[in-house]
Structure 1
């Protein structure tokens, strides 16, 4: 298994923290493994687990 640098380990811990915080809030964290600037996207969902309609200000 390849060794990870201190910076890589800190990055993975940061992503795990965000994933847990978003999940605890009842939303979905979608990580992007191949993107070097964006670590992921948060999908806001309602209590049934469905994505709500996008607000008009996002268009």
Structure 2
């Protein structure tokens, strides 16, 4: 599973929520060097929105 965790060499977003009664965890590393982590469903949702809007494909012009 460690190969799914983003690194600077392989940037991306990683979210884990193994069971509905367990809080989600998430992290991202962007190719621009920015990184963030979050714990808890609401915070992970905000992390995903941040990554989608400001990082990832947003830097390539393929996103928003």
Q: Would you say same fold, with TM above 0.5?
A: no
Q: TM-score, normalised on structure 1?
A: 0.28
More helix by share: 1
More strand by share: 2
Q: TM-score, normalised on structure 2?
A: 0.27
